[in-house]
């Protein structure tokens, strides 16, 4: 038997007494004493013997960089003519056929502008020809992008790189290989002069030379600089390049000073009005004011072991409103030291603010430059704003990437050319290049044996071995030396050499021996990248260069190299 039920609803409806809802939405509080009581409970009415700062007087000194040194070379003067990266990292532009055709087009344009006849342009085309794909070597024909490019340009364009090199040798005369008519000698000579100047400004050196600061054994740059300290001494600075090829303030360490070359620096003085520190999620300084809800404090989970996070939260929630800041203008490529920071508060009291690391027991500092040979003064009293193109560069796609990794199974260190430049200067993935080398099929023995012995397996051509070699028997020092795998290519047993520029350095004593310090390749590995960069400097000039950047590796790897294998041939031999 079902019991009867009664279903009903309640609805709350407003009953306005006026035509507007504004007053009801204000949520006004009629009792201000309640607000005052809450402020009294949390100690808002407790007096402090302090005053807010009204003005700040600053006395400082500025100095500048004076020179730079790449590797073990001579010191070069530095006059802020370019970013420091473009001076120490720039390497020769890799010659390729795309660049050759582009230079040839510019040369043809200059010939037309100088009024040279069509026969003069034809003389350049005949003397410096772009080759046909059929004339390429077997190794070059594996590059299908190059083959397709030459099918279009061969016989139609000028090899600008060859013309540029011959023009340098014969300058200011016209190269002897050109059959130039008498009336075209003047226009051709002028065009070649403009052509040489344009290539030097636009591209610089064309070749395979490494950057002056690149140290192949260290897989990094070796850079030093000299700068005048704000106190007048000449300081020597050792620089370390960042993972993106940049020089930040922390990239420099002071290694010594020359007090004999001291020069007094002119001080500067100015006064400013301080402003409160403001950041996203900061509590409002005024009571009963709605705060911004973009920062969710409920998601902050701290542990008693996380001292740094607790300090930041304490600063943001409690001490944030007690901090002030003033702007300090410092030019790029300078060193700044603040000699005096004097604060005047609203009551007229003066307070001298000292450096946090100036006391005898001070153990905290920030934005300081470390010193290597002065244990009594482990940090300097100046801040470096490096002459760097930091965060103002446009980076192109990676032209080359080499991954150094350890292979515990094969007990080797491999340098994997994950990307190299092809014949037209663009990046070519290493695994795609390896596919152009087909596996050689080993013919079965004449007896049709069912088993075949293999000395070792093949390794992809973009895997270059670096076995350890002993370089110092007394100290048992070990280095990683570039070697080569052997395999059958087109029916012949050849050595597989690296195709990129990173594994074919020029800053070595012997081009046939390339060794990397063993400690440079950890178990996590390391990566070396080559990429074009472009930046605009302070005077508006544009600078382009190719930079090498060292990044963290991707862990260990396995090449699949195995020795002493027995494989089945598929033959069925019965006794």
Q: Which two tokens stand for residue 101?
A: 């055709």
Alpha-carbon Rg for the chain in angstroms:
35
pLDDT band at 445; cut points 50, 70, 90: very low
Statement: the pTM of the whole predicted model exceeds 0.85:
no
Answer yes or no: are the C-beta atoms of 527 and 398 closer than 8 Å: no
| Nearest C-alpha neighbor of 527 from the set 242, 243, 211, 209 | 243
Q: Point out the least confidently predicted range of 123-127, 306-310, 564-568.
A: 564-568
Domain segments of the chain: what residues?
Answer: 53-59+273-380, 97-202, 394-568
| Nearest C-alpha neighbor of 324 from the set 303, 302, 348, 346 | 346
Please say if the pLDDT value at position 407 is more than 90.
Answer: yes
C-beta atoms surrounding 235 within 10 Å? 24
HEC letters along 426-462: CEEEHHHHHHCCCCCCCCCCCCCCCEEEEEECCCCCC
Alpha-carbon distance values, 403 to 276, 503, 527, 552 (Å) = 48, 11, 5, 9
| Nearest C-alpha neighbor of 285 from the set 247, 317, 239, 331 | 317
Answer yes or no: are the C-beta atoms of 83 and 388 closer than 8 Å: yes
* Cis bond upstream, residue 172 (ω within 30): yes
C-beta atoms surrounding 341 within 10 Å? 16
What does the buried/exposed string (b/e) look like for 466-489 if buried means 16 or more CB atoms within 10 Å of the residue's CB?
beeeeeeeeeeeebbbbeebebeb
| Collapsed DSSP state (helix, strand, coil) of residue 513 | coil
CA dist., res. 165 & res. 175, Å (int): 10
Tens digits of per-residue pLDDT, 127-167?
999 999 999 998 899 999 999 999 999 988 999 999 999 99
C-beta atoms surrounding 542 within 10 Å? 9
CA dist., res. 215 & res. 506, Å (int): 10
CA dist., res. 165 & res. 171, Å (int): 10
Q: Point out the least confidently predicted range of 97-101, 140-144, 402-406, 441-445.
A: 441-445
Span 353-378, mean pLDDT?
Answer: 76
Answer yes or no: are the C-beta atoms of 394 and 525 closer than 8 Å: no
Q: Which residues pair with 391 in a beta bridge?
A: none
CA dist., res. 446 & res. 540, Å (int): 74
Please say if the pLDDT value at position 444 is more than 60.
Answer: no
Tens digits of per-residue pLDDT, 227-266?
999 989 999 999 999 988 899 999 999 998 887 778 888 8
pLDDT band at 441; cut points 50, 70, 90: low
Span 381-385, mean pLDDT?
Answer: 92
Answer yes or no: are the C-beta atoms of 192 and 174 closer than 8 Å: yes
Please say if the pLDDT value at position 73 is more than 90.
Answer: no
| Nearest C-alpha neighbor of 230 from the set 455, 37, 380, 344 | 380
Alpha-carbon distance values, 570 to 449, 450, 453 (Å) = 9, 6, 13
Answer yes or no: are the C-beta atoms of 444 and 454 closer than 8 Å: no
| Nearest C-alpha neighbor of 203 from the set 103, 89, 130 | 103
| Nearest C-alpha neighbor of 537 from the set 357, 361, 414, 390 | 390
pLDDT score for 23: 75
| Nearest C-alpha neighbor of 226 from the set 264, 267, 258 | 258
CA dist., res. 509 & res. 498, Å (int): 18
CA dist., res. 174 & res. 187, Å (int): 11
Alpha-carbon distance values, 542 to 91, 214, 551 (Å) = 17, 23, 26
Q: How far is CA 120 from the centre of its chain?
A: 45
- The percent of residues above 90 in pLDDT, for the chain, comes to 56
8-state DSSP, 425? S
Q: Which two tokens stand for residue 225?
A: 């600089």
8-state DSSP, 183? G
pLDDT score for 497: 93
Q: Point out the least confidently predicted range of 83-92, 99-108, 350-359, 546-555.
A: 350-359
Residues with Cβ < 8 Å from 534, sequence gap 6 or more? 393, 394, 396, 542, 543, 544
| φ, ψ of residue 165 in degrees (nearest 5) | -65, -40
CA dist., res. 94 & res. 426, Å (int): 11
pLDDT score for 19: 80
Q: Which two tokens stand for residue 351?
A: 């307070």
pLDDT band at 417; cut points 50, 70, 90: very high
Mean pLDDT of the chain: 87
């Amino acid at each position: 038997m079902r019991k009867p039920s009664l279903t009903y609803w309640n609805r709350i409806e407003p009953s306005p007494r006026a035509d507007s809802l504004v007053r009801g939405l204000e949520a006004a509080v009629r009792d201000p004493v309640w607000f005052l009581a809450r402020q009294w409970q949390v100690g808002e009415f407790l007096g402090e013997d302090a005053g807010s700062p009204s003005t700040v007087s600053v006395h400082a000194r500025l100095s500048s960089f004076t020179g730079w040194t790449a590797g073990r070379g001579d010191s070069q003067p530095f006059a802020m003519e370019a970013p420091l990266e473009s001076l120490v990292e720039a390497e020769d532009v890799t010659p390729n056929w795309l660049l050759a055709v582009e230079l040839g087009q510019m040369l043809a344009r200059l010939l037309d502008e100088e009024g040279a006849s069509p026969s003069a342009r034809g003389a350049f085309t005949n003397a410096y020809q772009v080759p046909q794909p059929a004339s390429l070597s077997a190794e070059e024909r594996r590059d299908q992008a190059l083959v397709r490019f030459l099918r279009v340009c061969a016989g139609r364009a000028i090899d600008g790189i060859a013309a540029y090199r011959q023009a340098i040798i014969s300058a200011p005369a016209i190269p002897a290989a050109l059959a130039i008519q008498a009336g075209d000698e003047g226009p051709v000579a002028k065009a070649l002069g403009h052509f040489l100047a344009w290539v030097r400004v636009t591209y610089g050196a064309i070749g395979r030379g490494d950057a002056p600061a690149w140290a192949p054994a260290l897989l990094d740059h070796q850079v030093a600089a000299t700068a005048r300290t704000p106190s007048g001494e000449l300081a020597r600075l050792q620089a370390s390049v960042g993972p993106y090829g940049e020089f930040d303030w922390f990239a420099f360490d002071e290694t010594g000073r020359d007090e004999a070359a001291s020069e007094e620096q002119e001080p500067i003085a100015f006064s400013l009005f301080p402003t409160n520190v403001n950041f996203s999620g900061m509590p409002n300084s005024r009571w009963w004011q709605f705060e911004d809800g973009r920062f969710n404090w409920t998601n902050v989970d701290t542990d008693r072991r996380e001292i740094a996070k607790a300090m930041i939260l304490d600063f943001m929630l409690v001490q944030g409103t007690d901090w002030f800041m003033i702007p300090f203008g410092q030019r790029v490529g300078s060193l700044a030291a603040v000699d005096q920071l004097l604060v005047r508060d609203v009551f007229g009291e003066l307070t001298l603010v000292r450096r946090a690391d100036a006391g005898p027991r001070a153990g905290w500092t920030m934005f300081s430059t470390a010193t290597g040979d002065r244990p009594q003064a482990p940090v300097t009293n100046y801040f470096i704003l490096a002459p760097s193109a930091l965060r103002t560069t446009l980076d192109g796609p990676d032209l080359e990437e080499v991954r150094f990794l350890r292979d515990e199974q094969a007990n080797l260190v491999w340098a994997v050319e994950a990307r190299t430049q092809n014949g037209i200067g663009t990046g070519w993935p290493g695994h795609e290049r390896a596919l152009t080398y087909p596996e050689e099929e080993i013919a079965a023995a004449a007896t049709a044996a069912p088993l075949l012995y293999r000395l070792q397996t093949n390794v992809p051509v973009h895997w270059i071995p670096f076995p350890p070699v002993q370089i110092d028997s007394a100290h048992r020092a070990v280095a990683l030396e570039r070697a080569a795998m052997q395999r059958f290519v087109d029916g012949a047993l050849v050595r597989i050499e690296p195709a990129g520029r990173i594994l074919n350095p020029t800053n070595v004593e012997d081009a046939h021996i390339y060794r990397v310090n063993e400690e440079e390749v950890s178990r996590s590995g390391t990566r070396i990248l080559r990429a074009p960069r472009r930046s605009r400097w302070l005077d508006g000039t544009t600078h382009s260069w190719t930079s090498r950047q060292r990044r963290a590796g991707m862990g260990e790897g396995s090449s699949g190299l195995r020795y002493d294998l027995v494989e089945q041939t598929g033959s069925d031999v019965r006794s």
